[in-house]
Amino acid sequence: MNAEIALDIQGLSKTYRNKRGIDDITLQVARGDVYGFFGPNGAGKSTVMKIIAGLIKPDRGHVRLFGHDVGDQYELAMSQAGVLIEKAEAFEYMSGRRNLELAARLYPGLPKTRIDEVLELVGLAASGREKVGHYSLGMKQRLGIACALVSKPKLLILDEPTNGLDIESMVEVRELIKRLAAQERTTFFVSSHLISEMEMICNRIGILHEGKLIREGGMAELLQESGQSLETYFVAQLRIEREGARHESAAVQYH
């Protein structure tokens, strides 16, 4: 068990009834990394995120958080992680503060001031007592981030965290990620289909395409490889993938 590895994914596969899913994903996220999990819509990012959070079970493979297996030691594995999957889903008939209280109650020893801290952090201090049903989409997303942050997790798993946010809030979330990574050495595993966003906040990146991890590496390394931007690099990688698939299919037909 390597204490410096925050997230360890080994041979993760999951196939849905419609034959889509993920295939043999293996990656590691070191402590303090801001790991960008990039891929177009439908690439399988949320599937990986959901397996990490224990919301769905994989067909094969395993996930370890700080050395604890999500399948066998769920409580231990999740005790140091905060999660936001897809759009934030809060209980709309309760206030934002009450939603945070529900989350905070599951972490013994958390100071009572923590709820005020996170409300302040995500800019919801003034509307904390309002019912979530009255929140805008952006406010709900910020509440989701607050719920993920409330336990002061060492690892934050954020699936498309800037979804539904206006430009100002997107910048704020990016700044928050950078700040927490730098000051508190919080590890991030962030998914997005916006490559420019990944470029701005991540130091490592994994590129997912049609359920497969096609490339993984340090951001600086990939940018150097691409020569231009990550966007150009991604398009080039896709072409290589498609070309390879075409050759394989032609070879099968020939035989």
Partner 1 sequence: MNLLLSSTINEWTKLRSRKKTVFFLALIALLPFLGLPAVMKLQGGFGIAAIAGSDYPITVLNLLASFVLPLLIFMSAADMFSGEFGDKTIRSVLARPVSRFKIFFAKLIAAFSLVAAGLLLGWISSAIASFFLPHADGLPRALAESALAHAVTALPLFAICAAAVVVAMFFKHASGALAICILVYAAAKLLGFVLPQYAAWLPTAYMDWHELWIGSAATAGRIATVFSYLLGCGIVLSTLGYCAFDKKEV
Task: Rule CB under 8 A: say whether 9 interacts with partner 1.
Answer: no
Which residue of 93, 183, 251, 255 would you call a contact of partner 1, by CB under 8 A? 93
Task: Rule CB under 8 A: say whether 105 interacts with partner 1.
Answer: yes
Which residue of 10, 15, 28, 79 would you call a contact of partner 1, by CB under 8 A? 79
Cα of 117 vs its chain's centroid, Å:
22
Task: Rule CB under 8 A: say whether 19 interacts with partner 1.
Answer: no
The interface mask with partner 1, positions 46-65, x = CB under 8 A, is: ----x--xxxxx--------
Nearer to partner 1 by Cβ, of 4 and 75: the residue is 75
Task: Rule CB under 8 A: say whether 137 interacts with partner 1.
Answer: no
Task: Rule CB under 8 A: say whether 94 interacts with partner 1.
Answer: yes
> Of residues 183-202, which lie at the interface with partner 1 (CB under 8 A)?
none
Which of these segments, 95-103, 164-172, 192-200, 232-240, binds partner 1 (CB under 8 A)?
Answer: 95-103
Task: Rule CB under 8 A: say whether 155 interacts with partner 1.
Answer: no
Nearer to partner 1 by Cβ, of 49 and 219: the residue is 49
Beta-carbon contacts of residue 90 (< 8 Å; ≥ 6 apart): 96, 99, 132, 140, 143, 144, 147
Residue 44, both tokens: 């399988």
Task: Rule CB under 8 A: say whether 5 interacts with partner 1.
Answer: no
Task: Rule CB under 8 A: say whether 102 interacts with partner 1.
Answer: yes
CB of 244 to partner 1, least distance (A): 32
Contacts to partner 1 by CB under 8 A = 50, 53-57, 74-79, 81, 83, 85-86, 88-91, 93-94, 98-99, 101-103, 105-108, 144, 147
